[in-house]
Amino acid sequence: MGQEKYRNGFKLTLHPDTLMEPYSWKKPKMIFVNSMSDLFHKEVPIEYIQQIFGVIKDNPQHVFQVLTKRANVLKYYDSEGLLEWPHNLWMGVTIEEKSLTKRIDLLRSTGAKVKFLSCEPLLSDLPELNLKGIDWVIVGGESGRTPRPIKEEWVINIKEQCQKARVAFYFKQWGGTNKKKAGKQLEGKIYSEMPK
């Protein structure tokens, strides 16, 4: 439902032609909007974001997940009353390391009905997360040719914080150069909890 390319000389590209696709899907789906981009990029017009939110509202049978690193832009649009939050839109922010935890407060202050954190790739320990008002936490290691390491104690720490706060915890992967081989078991168990 739209795509943005801005690294390595690529220019931002919007794809309004894809906005009609959810209307044709017969079975309920979970859709990750903008998997390789950021809907709240400074060059994405607010009108386009509102159009996407409208499509989400029109298709309550589906769940749409939106993830951003630009929590400040998200917060600004929300505080200006520019976003209408459908119940089936799950809004998340990326928290890769401790210095980025301020994004949680910005997300928490929005009107999103379901709020989640994506700690992927997890690059540092995240002690003392404030999970009040957060519904879901996803954790995962980095993949690719030169992935930065993830430590098991970091993942366990987040899992325990989620359990204490009664927040759904989803461990996606260890990552690495062969993420399939590395798997997704944590202490011999697979964690794939979802928000209620």
pLDDT one digit per residue (tens) for the chain, 196 residues: 554 444 455 677 888 888 999 999 999 999 999 877 899 999 999 999 999 999 999 999 999 999 999 999 999 999 999 999 999 999 999 999 999 999 999 999 999 999 999 999 999 999 999 999 999 999 999 998 999 999 999 999 999 999 999 999 999 999 988 888 889 999 999 999 999 8
The pLDDT of residue 9: 53
CA gyration radius, the chain: 17
The pLDDT of residue 179: 83
Q: Is residue 95 part of a domain?
A: yes
CA distance 65 to 87: 11
Q: Is residue 157 part of a domain?
A: yes
CA distance 3 to 39: 8
Residue-range definition of the domain harbouring residue 107: 60-190
Q: Is residue 102 part of a domain?
A: yes
Q: Shortest CA distance to 154 belongs to which of 144, 142, 166?
A: 142
The pLDDT of residue 16: 81
Do 1 and 17 contact (CB within 8 A), yes or no? no
pTM: 0.91
Q: Is residue 4 part of a domain?
A: no
Q: Is residue 15 part of a domain?
A: no
User: In b/e form, how buried is each residue of 100-110, taking b as 16+ CB within 10 angstroms?
Assistant: bbebbebbbeb
CA distance 167 to 116: 9
The pLDDT of residue 1: 57
Do 68 and 93 contact (CB within 8 A), yes or no? yes
Number of domains within the chain: 1
The pLDDT of residue 74: 98
The pLDDT of residue 15: 81
Q: Is residue 10 part of a domain?
A: no
Q: Is residue 159 part of a domain?
A: yes
Q: Shortest CA distance to 69 belongs to which of 161, 4, 152?
A: 4
Q: Is residue 81 part of a domain?
A: yes
CA distance 95 to 140: 11
